Amino acid sequence: MAETHAAAFAEARPWSEAEFAALLAQPHCHAIGDARSFALIRVIADEAELLTIATRPDARRQGLARARMEAWQARARATGADRAFLEVAADNVAALALYKTCGFAVEGRRKGYYPRAGSAAVDAIVMARALT
């Protein structure tokens, strides 16, 4: 997962193997996917959160991210969630488009949340949708 994340997020600090291991050790975290593309979610009570989703650059434009979006939302529903949340960098146009087509709507903004090397930090867009 750390390798895929690093390849997918070359402009940001990727998550380490230790960070993934710590998250996956938590009882409410679930990983969906494979080495080409994965989603990592947390489901607590009736809420699900997409922690990260990543697709290797050489596997993009094959529908993998959309498949992971559908799969993690199905897993969240199956474990009792009726609402889903995620956040995305405001400059990640492709992800914003994907999330909107998956039914997510903007709920808020975190100013200057994502640092960028050599430029100003980018806002985080908080998005949500009902899973019922």
What amino acid positions are annotated as catalytic residues? 87, 99
Sheet holding 47-55, edge to edge: 29-33, 37-44, 47-55, 83-89, 119-130, 105-116
* Spatial separation of the C-alpha atoms in residues 11 and 32, rounded to whole Å: 24
Provide the angle, in degrees to the nearest 10, between the axes of the packed helices 93-101 and 64-78. 50
- Measure CA 43 to chain center: 13
Q: CB–CB of 69/105 below 8 Å?
A: no
